[in-house]
Structure 1
Amino acid sequence: MTYHDVFINRTEQFCLGIEPESGRTYMSTPIRPGRSLVEFDHYFELDAASFELFQRDPQAARAFLERCLKGDVAPMVACP
């Protein structure tokens, strides 16, 4: 899989983008599991409406991001 970020929010530490092969949209954020010294980018699938909303209003993405960080949303994939 390849990923193409189209929106980067450095303050909240997330990116929005499109996986070109499938056309699926996502939010990615760095996550450091447990006591690991390595940080991994995790990718969480978004529906089209959320993808558009989060680009227009990054604050609206905060609740979804918090759910992702808590582990309440299953990631699409994790990449080192």
Structure 2
Amino acid sequence: MKFVDAYFSRENRYALGVEQEAGRYYASLPVSNGVVDYEEYYELTKAQFDHFRAEPDDAIEFIEACRRREHDDLLIQKPGWNRGTPV
């Protein structure tokens, strides 16, 4: 998979982009499991992606829900046994 960010919010610590191989849209956030830091990628619809790109502050509620693990069904890559916590 090749994730390409189209937008990044340093302040709110999330990114929006497109996974190039499948053409899926995503929101990502940084996590750490104490051994490695990595990104979790949550699939977005095209409409969500377009809206969040146009109004980045509107994505914050969605990102915070992802941090609370309320959208795990949208994870593009399922975490392993040593899942990280949001940083």
Structure 1, gaps ≥5 residues long: none
Match of 1:57 in 2: 55
Offset, 1:38: 2.9
Offset, 1:42: 0.3
The within-5 A match list for 1:13-52 is 13-33=13-33, 36-52=34-50
**Contact (CA 8 Å) 1:2, 1:21: kept in 2 or not?**
yes
C-alpha RMSD over aligned residues: 1.6
Counting matched residue pairs gives 77
Structure 2, gaps ≥5 residues long: 80-87
> How high is the sequence identity, in percent, across the aligned residues?
31
The runs of at least 4 aligned residues of structure 1 exceeding 3 Å deviation read none
Offset, 1:78: 6.3
**TM-score of the superposition, structure 2-length normalised?**
0.80
